[in-house]
Amino acid sequence: MLSLIGIAVVVLGFMARMNPLLVVTAAALVTGLAGGMGPVEVVATFGKAFQENRYVSVVWVVLPVIGLLERAGLQERAKTLIGAIHAATAGRLLLLYFVFRQITAALGLTSLGGHAQMVRPLIAPMAEAAAESHHGPLPEEARQTVRAHAAAVDNIALFFGEDIFIAIASILLIKGFLAQNGILVEPLQLSVWAIPTAICALLIHGTQMMLFDRRLARMIAEGKR
């Protein structure tokens, strides 16, 4: 049970809003020490794990080209394009992106999205422009809300779309774990049962996006008062 101290460090550290890098490092050191490792061994274990997970950070290599295109006015062009379509509102645009992202993820096309490649350069500015064409210049709070929801749509549509695809990592993990315990299931049996939740996710978040424009209008009106 001593190994659970690390979890306490994480929860308290995040609640106290301390720097997450310090919190995570402290949690790793404490967990290792509580698990009976010596100090050198703990540092080595953490270093090895950090080194083995470098692939997580390779994605930052996209930033130069995204920055270059922003410098040339990519966000402005995306805004012009959406601002000219009167039917486009922030809520409808985000709902449309949700459906696109969920369907493509369900077909295994999870790379058609992402925060650095899609949300920052295209989706967030488009949603902001759609909101501005209906509500005028956005107060800072409303702008931040629109951006946060652009990121949220990318996540939710991905999570509740990708499991419908039979070769995605989580389906293979479930299949593998059940097989270790002597239960054989086919990936298709698993992915079929991801469909009801996927439909509910679309209904639940879709409803919120349909109500989003009204919420935004209310937020802006309250800000003016």
With contact defined as beta carbons under 8 Å apart, do 32 and 3 qualify?
A: no
Least distance (Å) between residue 167 CB and other proteins: 10
Least distance (Å) between residue 89 CB and other proteins: 17
DSSP string, 161-176: HHTTSTTSHHHHHHHH
d(CA 187, CA 60): 32
Would you say 154 or 213 has its CB closer to other proteins?
154
Least distance (Å) between residue 97 CB and other proteins: 13
Least distance (Å) between residue 221 CB and other proteins: 20
Residue 150 burial by Cβ neighbours in a 10 Å radius (0-12, 13-18, 19+): buried
Would you say 71 or 86 has its CB closer to other proteins?
71
| Tokens linked to 114 | 């992402």
